[in-house]
Amino acid sequence: MKRVTLLAEVQQDVCRGCKVCEKVCPVYAISVTDRKAKVKEDACRGCTNCESRCPFHAIKMVKREKPFTIGVDASQYDSGKIRELCEKAHLNPEQVICYCVGVRAEEVAAAIMAGAKTPDEISSVTGIRTGCTIECIQPLLRLIQAAGIELKRDENGWQWYGVTPTAWTLPEDVVQKYNKRGFYFEEDKQLLDRVVHTNPKGEEKK
């Protein structure tokens, strides 16, 4: 859940139509037509990516006159199904996966159950990946993949490239080769598994 208080505003006289903003917006709220960037006000989630990467400093973040709140209420969805999906992605439903906005795995699972199919659609309804926009991409992709939805990268944008290794996919030879160097692979996997399988009452399931 996120309170959206900011809006990106393009200074048309400074914009040179380079399209960098378009490539870094996690929710596709800004795009370039006729060599000028335009923001879809309702779609902007105020993450500041466009403002931070525009090479010509053409974008300013302004306070919205009418801030609004976005979010998906996970309690409205079947908790068993939410847990199933989260566990498949090796996440506990209650765990936070976006540190800026505070979105938990269960909220993303609920968004998927409500019909969101892509990272940008999920960001748009939950607010995940509209804070720092960098740290939560993997759990987000993991949850979409766990739901059986095919991930299709936008070749024209830099929004995201692909899923990466997890504790559960590390090759055994790598684990053996490096665990003497202070990398606690196996122990950490066990810790993550304990987190995943802890239920609302605090009981741990093997």
Residues that bind ligand SF4 (CB under 6 A): 8, 10, 15-21, 25, 27, 29-30, 32, 37, 39, 44-50, 54, 56, 58-59
Chosen residue from 59, 136, 144, 146 binding another protein by CB under 8 A = 136
How many Å apart are CA 94 and CA 130, to the nearest integer?
20
CB of 28 or CB of 183, closer to ligand SF4: 28
Q: Name the minimum Å distance from CB 94 to another protein.
A: 5
Provide the token pair at 141.
């992709």
β-partners of residue 32 are: 37
Angle at 162 between CA 84 and CA 97, to 5 degrees: 45
Interface region with another protein, contact rule CB under 8 A, candidates 35-43, 77-85, 109-117, 186-194: 186-194
Nearer to another protein, 81 or 177 (CB): 177
Of the candidates 115, 113, 143, the residue with the CA atom closest to the CA atom of residue 128: 143
Min separation Cβ 169 and another protein, Å: 7
**Residues sharing a CB contact under 8 Å with residue 22, sequence separation 6 or more, in sequence order:** 28, 30, 31, 32, 37, 157
Binding test (CB under 8 A) with another protein, winner from 17, 38, 61, 118: 61
Per partner kind, with CB cut-offs from 5 to 8 A, the member of another protein, ligand SF4, none near residue 115 is none
Instruction: Please state the closest distance from residue 121 (CB atom) to another protein, in A.
Output: 18
Please say which residue, 113 or 132, places its beta carbon nearer to ligand SF4: 132
The 10 Å CB-count burial string (b at 16+, else e) for 78-114 is eeeebbebbbbbbbbbeeebbebbebbbbbbbbbbbe
Of the candidate residues 150, 172, 202, 206, the single one contacting another protein (CB under 8 A): 202
